[in-house]
């Protein structure tokens, strides 16, 4: 399963990018903001309660939003994965989400954070308010309160996901398509890393035949190389990994996994390679051109430096010669004095 947390302050573009990611990866979109707004429209008790809080730009209580997410997860048992948009917004929500997913035998794959500065957010939200009529997007004081709530309560989640090596920062300024491309690049990397972790765990826990073991090891080595290349192409920086907990597999899981592994080993190899090569090719060209540019710049800089150095050298030499002359004459004076 691919479970993504799309992270970022209000107005960062989470909704827009979610829609594109859903289309590409066939995921289910869970936006707590959207669910709350639909409760308001339906006029439910929850909706009435939430409306007052939302109109102020404050956060709705953890219990309410966690309950909402739980029932939405239960309602989609066959999902290929989820995009969490606007959730979790507090540490308590993040912990609850981890627990809920663990119970379903899955986990968050990555947190993709769209980074946009505060003033740009306020500008964007005011425009959105005019277009959509959303009450909490129309008043600058409320907008600033929402951004503050995000900075105080939600931003600490960066640390929470960084410690699990799941945090990825993406610049949220630029065209919708270029931001989407960045997101997809991260997801390619995340998927390769997940595949590698699964493969390594299979190699460790499954009782493989020598042949399967060789193939699985070969693929894992190739995946490692691909991941290293992605990092080298600066698609992703190495996340800080604090700890990786490996869980031992049960007997039944081991047998099932062994069968599944045999079937997918070759498929994985072909698919992973194809995707990565496709992703890497344009990056490599860009990297090469920028290296060329750097070399050219260095050449110009060197020339300028030599030019600058020439007159400086002249002045220096003059000073040295004068100093030497002064020193010589004072030595002469000392010698003459001694003679006397
Ligand atoms: P959004 O559409 O994500 O910007 O959410 C709009 C408003 O809904 C927020 O300002 C909060 O008042 C409320 N809200 C949405 N998601 C959450 C959440 N995960 N926790 C608490 N409040 C939320």
Q: Which atom of ligand 1 is nearest to the CA of 53?
A: 12
pLDDT in tens, 265-285: 656 556 655 665 665 565 555
Poorest-pLDDT segment among 69-83, 109-123, 155-169, 313-327: 313-327
DSSP H stretches of helix in 133-168: 140-149, 157-162
Residue 88 per-residue DSSP state: -
pLDDT in tens, 21-38: 999 999 999 999 999 999
Q: Give every CB contact of residue 101 below 8 A, 6+ residues apart in sequence.
A: 3, 73, 107, 108
- For a mutational test of ligand 1's pocket, the pick from 5, 30, 36, i.e. the residue with the most ligand atoms closer than 8 A to its C-beta, is 36
Q: Whose CA is nearest to atom 11 of ligand 1?
A: 59
Ligand 1: centre distance to CA 152 (Å): 14
Poorest-pLDDT segment among 59-73, 101-115, 144-158, 281-295: 281-295
Q: Whose CA is nearest to atom 14 of ligand 1?
A: 33
With CA atoms as reference, report the closest residue to 65 among 50, 83, 81.
50
CA distance 307 to 253: 71
Q: Confidence band (pLDDT; 50, 70, 90) for 263? A: low
Ligand 1: centre distance to CA 311 (Å): 65
Q: Span 59-76, mean pLDDT? A: 95
Q: Which two tokens stand for residue 81?
A: 């994965």
More confident residue, 210 or 302: 210
Q: Which atom of ligand 1 is nearest to the CA of 146?
A: 10
Specify the 3-state DSSP secondary structure of 6. strand
With CA atoms as reference, report the closest residue to 82 among 20, 10, 143, 1.
1
Q: Confidence band (pLDDT; 50, 70, 90) for 185? A: confident
Give the residue numbers annotated as catalytic, written as ranges: 14, 89, 128, 134, 146
Q: Confidence band (pLDDT; 50, 70, 90) for 51? A: very high
pLDDT, residue 214, reads 83
Ligand 1: centre distance to CA 89 (Å): 8
Give percent of the chain with pLDDT exceeding 70.
Answer: 68
Q: Which two tokens stand for residue 212?
A: 């399967």
CA distance 188 to 193: 9
With CA atoms as reference, report the closest residue to 121 among 100, 104, 145.
145
Q: Give every CB contact of residue 55 below 8 A, 6+ residues apart in sequence.
A: 135, 136, 142
Q: Confidence band (pLDDT; 50, 70, 90) for 194? A: confident
With CA atoms as reference, report the closest residue to 282 among 244, 329, 215, 235.
235
Ligand 1: centre distance to CA 44 (Å): 17
Ligand 1: centre distance to CA 334 (Å): 87
Q: Which residues line ligand 1 (CB under 6 A)?
A: 10, 32-33, 36, 53-54, 57-60, 65, 86-87, 89, 93, 136, 146
pLDDT of residue 331 exceeding 60, the answer is no
């Amino acid at each position: 399963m691919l479970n993504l947390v799309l992270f970022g302050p209000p107005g960062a573009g989470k909704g827009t990018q979610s829609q594109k990611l859903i289309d590409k990866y066939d995921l289910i979109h869970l936006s707590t903001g959207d669910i709350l707004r639909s409760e308001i429209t339906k006029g439910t008790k929850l909706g009435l309660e939430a409306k007052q809080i939302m109109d102020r730009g404050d956060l709705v209580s953890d219990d309410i939003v966690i309950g909402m997410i739980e029932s939405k997860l239960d309602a989609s048992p066959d999902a290929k994965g989820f995009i969490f948009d606007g959730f979790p917004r507090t540490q308590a929500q993040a912990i609850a989400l981890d627990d809920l997913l663990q119970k379903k035998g899955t986990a968050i794959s990555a947190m993709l954070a769209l980074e946009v500065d505060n003033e740009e957010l306020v500008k964007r939200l005011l425009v959105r308010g005019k277009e959509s009529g959303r009450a909490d997007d129309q008043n600058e004081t409320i907008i600033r309160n929402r951004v503050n709530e995000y900075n105080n309560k939600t931003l600490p989640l960066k640390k929470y996901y960084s410690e699990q090596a799941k945090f990825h920062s993406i610049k949220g300024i630029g065209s919708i398509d270029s931001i989407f491309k960045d997101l997809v690049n991260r997801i390619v990397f995340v998927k390769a890393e997940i595949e590698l972790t699964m493969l390594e765990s299979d190699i460790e826990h499954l009782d493989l035949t020598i042949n399967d073991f060789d193939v699985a090891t070969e693929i894992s080595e190739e995946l490692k190389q691909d991941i290293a290349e992605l990092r080298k192409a600066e698609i992703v920086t190495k996340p800080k990994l604090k700890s990786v907990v490996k869980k031992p597999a049960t007997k039944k899981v081991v047998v099932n996994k062994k069968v599944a592994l045999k079937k997918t080993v070759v498929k994985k190899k072909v698919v992973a390679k194809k995707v990565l090569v496709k992703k890497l090719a344009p990056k490599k060209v860009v990297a090469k051109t920028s290296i060329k540019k750097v070399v050219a710049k260095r050449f110009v800089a060197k020339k300028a430096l030599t030019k600058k150095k020439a007159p400086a050298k002249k002045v220096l030499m003059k000073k040295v010669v004068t100093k030497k002359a002064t020193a010589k004459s004072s030595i002469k004076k000392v010698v003459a004095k001694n003679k006397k």
